[in-house]
Amino acid sequence: MKLVYRCNSQNEFHKKGFKVKNFIKLITITTYLSTHNVMGSSFDSCGDTVSQKIINAETVAIEKIDEMVSILDDKYNPNIDGIQNSIEILMCAQNKIRNSFHFVCKNEPEKNYFMRTLPLIGKEILVNLNFKKLFNPLNLSSAIIHEATHKCGTNDAAYFRTSSPKSTRLFHWSSIADTYEYWAKNGVCIPDVDC
Ligand SMILES: [Zn+2]
């Protein structure tokens, strides 16, 4: 009887030890994932459909930035004022997208923003669900690029919805967020060179 008992308890000990080891491994993996954000962006009140559309648009945005940077690199004289700055802003914005955002969806018909974010600080991007017809891959990916460049120091000195990018009295075209949204929608062009 005694021998059987000892044998059982030893088995239980080994089983328990195995489980604890797996549990520690699981905790380590979970902690790694939550601190490194490899699971992607997070969402608040966006719903499954909109969240999935945003996730897809982030992938498109990352690819679009690759394309824009290689055009800037290959097609233009690197000494043109703003080229190097715009490459740096795009690389920075791509990094911000890769490191994931926290999208907070709201339905605010009285407000006219589609997406907005604080300059430089934090990971939060507000999304206005009221603009239902803007939730397509082109508009979403372009807007995400616009917002991501805000985290890299761009401003809203001008919008280029009806005209092509240009500098304002105070700000160079390469430091205006809508330059990059325009490029994402219409292709890269450089003010006073080819747009
Ligand atoms: Zn903006």
Number of structural domains in the chain: 1
What pairs with residue 42 in β-bridges?
A: 102
Compute, in angstroms, the gap from residue 72 CA to the centroid of ligand 1. 22
pLDDT tens digits along 16-54: 444 444 444 444 444 444 443 445 899 999 999 999 999
Confirm whether 182 is domain-assigned: yes
Tell me the whole-structure pTM to 2 decimals. Answer: 0.80
Confirm whether 25 is domain-assigned: no
**What residue numbers bound the domain in which 117 lies?**
39-186
Here the CATH number for the domain that contains residue 79 is: 3.40.390.10
Q: Give kind and range of the element (H or E) at residue 150.
A: helix 137-150
Which residue pairs from 78-84 have beta carbons closer than 8 angstroms and sit at least 24 positions apart in sequence?
Answer: 80/190, 80/193, 81/172, 82/172, 82/173, 82/174, 82/190, 82/191, 83/174, 83/190
Compute, in angstroms, the gap from residue 87 CA to the centroid of ligand 1. 18
Compute, in angstroms, the gap from residue 146 CA to the centroid of ligand 1. 6
pLDDT tens digits along 127-155: 999 998 899 999 999 999 999 999 999 99
Contact predicate 50/129, CB 8 Å:
yes
